[in-house]
Amino acid sequence: MTKKIFRSIFIVAMIVFLSCFALIMGVLYNYYNAQQESGLKTELSLVADGIENVGIDYLNHIDYLESRLTLVSATGDVLFDSQVDFSEMENHAERKEIKEALINGTGQSSRYSSTLTKQTVYYAKRLSNGSVLRVSMSRYTILALIFSMIDSIVIILAIALILSVILSHSLSKRIVKPLENVNLDKPMENDTYNELAPILTRLEEQHRQIHNQREELKERKNEFFAVISNMNEGLVLLGENRMILSINPAAESFFNIDHDYIKKDFILLERDPKINKMISLAEESGKGELVVSRDGREYQLSASRVETRDKVSGVVILIFDMTEKVFAERNRKEFTANVSHELKTPLQSIMGSAELIQNGLVKDEDIPQFVKYIRLEASRMVTLIEDIIRLSQLDEQTDFIMEEIDLFAFVNAELESLRFVAENKHVTLSLHGKTTIIKGVHQLLHEVVYNLCDNAIKYNVNEGHVIVTVKEDNGNAVLIVEDTGIGISKEHQLRIFERFYRVDKSHSKQIGGTGLGLSIVKHALQYMNGTIDLESKMNVGTTITVTIPK
Amino acid sequence: MRNRFDKQLSLLNKELIQMGAMCEEAITLVTKALMIGDEKIAHKVSSTDSGIDQMERDIESLCLKLLLQQQPVAGDLRQISAALKMITDMERIGDQATDIAEIIPFLNGKIIKECEDISQMAQAAIEMVTESVDAYVKRDLTIAQMTIHHDDVVDNYFIEIKKSLIEMIENKTVNGEYALDLLMIAKYFERIGDHAVNIAEWVIFSITGEHKGD
């Protein structure tokens, strides 16, 4: 802009200067010419008068004139010339000015020299004797005049040029300066040309709009991040060329990220060909799914294509943690299989014995024994079914009545009922502690205490001990069942609370039990908000600590 | 110009990672096939290997194109030349995996219970390859160094396996042909470890400009 203003000012200055110069020159030149012509005419009439009065001799006395005087006879012969030897001059009858004077009394003409730098002006007058007097004067043409003045013209032009350059430069700067200083961030606070007001107002408006939109976008972005960062499912957004646009904390932990991967290629994050193949599938067909197990957990990945205006613009990957679901399903399947197996075994024994009796293959004296066996197996089945019912009750979260129970007295009663079993195995039972009142469910507490003590007796060695302690700790009631039994190895310790899990599968028939006892204990304690801890050493004994809130 | 070059470099990077992942897949597959004596899985390995070979040719031509057309210098040149060397090692890993897969049918589906060490050695070798590719992906010197140290573990396994095989042959608890097959498998895993070390060294070269072999 400065440049343009500068150029315009400069050009205008130059045009004004040059046209002024030309005009002045033209006017002056014309004035000067007219002046000279009238002088020449006066001179001619003066000299003509002189000749009329004095005669031709008069011409020899005037030597003060700058102009050239020529006297030509009526026939055109040159009679006198003030500058050139007239005897050698040719006949002048054909000259234009002489001819005009001979006819009209006066005549005039002008002729340019061969170089065009000089112009000779002639004036002629017929005298009374018929001869013609001519004055002539040569003068410079306007070109020659300009040429002769070239030095001063150049100097003036140079000065004018420099002046106009400087002036136009500073002027253009001054014009542009307010524009340069306009504060575009705060358009309305500027004190500048009025002509800019509409633009600045518009700018201010747009500023406001942009600001609002930005705020809105920020808010949406925050919302989006709040949603995806609190999601349990992993979420990865891939843009074009599988560039990572967004990744939430759950996905970060799945991919085991240690630094920022935003705007990077997905392959840097995960190079597993299966996952990449799934993404390719999603890009091509719109959807891809995959189950991956990683770090001992099961994940389901599902990818779907994102399209904008019929163009694939990215892929969204969702990562679900399926571990619980998969385990729950496995447990359920195992439970069903176990239940049917456990129910089938005693039934088959019963059926077998009954068939033998029916076919008369059993001696009469043996029949009572067979009947006893059938009864035993049937009662085993009843126990098993009772256990299953109890478990399913606990599973269904049936409401039980909570009441105040003295744990010490309760355990004492339970131990009394087990004394017979313990004596059979030659195991001594002992109880320590004092009255401790808890809030619990009678039926469930019975399951807990009975199962734990029963196990402590069953899995004990001959001449072993079971020590039960009831005490208070941090406002909780604590029940400790300690035995000197066979112990449970590390690999089994985590699994003994699972349904139908038996440490020693081969001897379970001898010892009895359904494999559901500890599972019931666990669920019963869960119902009463209690916890159970297990500590065991092989061939030394097991200590089970139960904590129940009061 | 530079923009296009950058794009090609990131493509090279991407393909190299893909090739590394394929190597991991190949040896994971072959280890699985070996452990459960499954010939079908062993066949899959050779198809993965041909994928790896194709990848090698692609990356090679991409590297040469970059060298010729862009005439890279300094870090870029190092990255491309390291890539050229790395793909050779990766291709060899794929070949070793195929070689192991080819032995599997001769084991007659026998699960190598005699040699618990082989499965551990295979795990160690897989880990090394994973580490070397990780080092490349993350451009991490410490992971690369770790890979190089890890090789001692694999080498030790090889020595152990050799010893126990000799013992077995002496005690005649195993037939000679079977023992030799196992030895070959162990040797292949040992070679895979060496190639992983090579890859790690080239990763170090592409980061620091210094190659350990020098």
Q: Which pLDDT score, from 0 to 100, does residue A505 have?
A: 65
Size of interface A-B (CB pairs under 8 A): 23
pTM summary value: 0.57
User: Which residues of chain B neighbour A268 with C-beta distances below 8 Å?
Assistant: 17, 137-138
- A535 and A487 in a common domain: yes
- pLDDT value of position B43: 82
Contact A16, A171 (CB under 8 A): no
Question: Shortest CA distance to A477 belongs to which of A429, A405, A419?
Answer: A405
Cα–Cα distance measured from residue B201 to residue B150, given in angstroms and rounded to the nearest whole number: 13
Instruction: Write out chain B residues lying below 8 Å of A293, CB-based.
Output: none
Does residue A421 share a domain with residue A290?
Answer: no
Residues A220 and A257 in one domain: no
Measured between CA atoms, the residue of chain B closest to residue A275 is B21
Instruction: Check residue A326 and give its pLDDT.
Output: 85
Mean pLDDT (chain B, rounded): 85
Distance from CA of A503 to the nearest CA of B (A): 26
Compute the nearest-CA separation of B108 from chain A (Å).
30
Chain A hits for B137, Cβ within 8 Å: 268, 271
Residues 6+ apart with CB under 8 A from B145: B200, B204
Strand partners, A298: A293
A348 and A480 belong to one structural domain? no
- ipTM comes to 0.78
Contacts of A278 in chain B (CB under 8 A): none
CA distance A468 to A453: 8
- By C-alpha distance, which of B44, B18, B21 is closest to B31? B44
Residues A127, A76, single domain; the answer is yes
Spell out which residues of chain A touch residue B138, defining contact as CB-CB under 8 Å.
Answer: 268
Q: Are residues A308 and A336 in the same domain?
A: no
The answer to whether the Cα torsion of A119, A125, A126, A131 is positive or negative is negative
The residue among B12, B17, B138 with the most chain A CBs within 10 A of its CB, best to mutate, is B17
Q: Domain tally for chain A?
A: 5
Answer whether A320's CB lies under 8 Å from A299's CB. Answer: yes
* Digit-coded pLDDT (tens) for A489-536: 887 887 888 777 777 766 555 666 777 888 888 888 888 888 888 888
CA distance A416 to A437: 20
How confident is the model at residue B110, as a pLDDT? Answer: 64
* Residue pLDDT, tens place only, A388-407: 888 888 777 777 888 888 88
**Per-residue DSSP letters for B30-79?**
HHHHHHHT-HHHHHHHHHHHHHHHHHHHHHHHHHHHHHHHH---HHHHHH
Q: Is B21–A273 a contact, with Cβ atoms under 8 angstroms apart?
A: yes
- At the fourth CATH level, the homologous superfamily of domain B2-208 is Phosphate transport system protein phou homolog 2; domain 2 (1.20.58.220)
- Under 8 Å between Cβ of A529 and A459: no
The residue that leads in pLDDT, B1 or A374, is A374
Same domain, A135 and A35: yes
Which structural domain range is residue A341 located in?
Answer: 326-395
Beta pairing class for A531-537 and A541-549: antiparallel
Q: Which two tokens mark A157? A: 């032009």
Whether residues A116 and A34 share a domain: the answer is: yes
Q: Is residue A181 part of a domain?
A: no
Smallest CA–CA distance from A268 into chain B, residue: B137
**pLDDT tens-place string over residues A81-125:** 877 777 777 788 788 888 888 888 888 888 887 666 777 888 888
Domain with residue A12: its CATH number is 3.30.450.20
CATH number of the domain that residue A391 is part of? 1.10.287.130
| In-domain check, residue A199 | yes
Token pair recorded at residue A351: 């059926």
- Do A55 and A108 reside in the same domain of the chain? yes
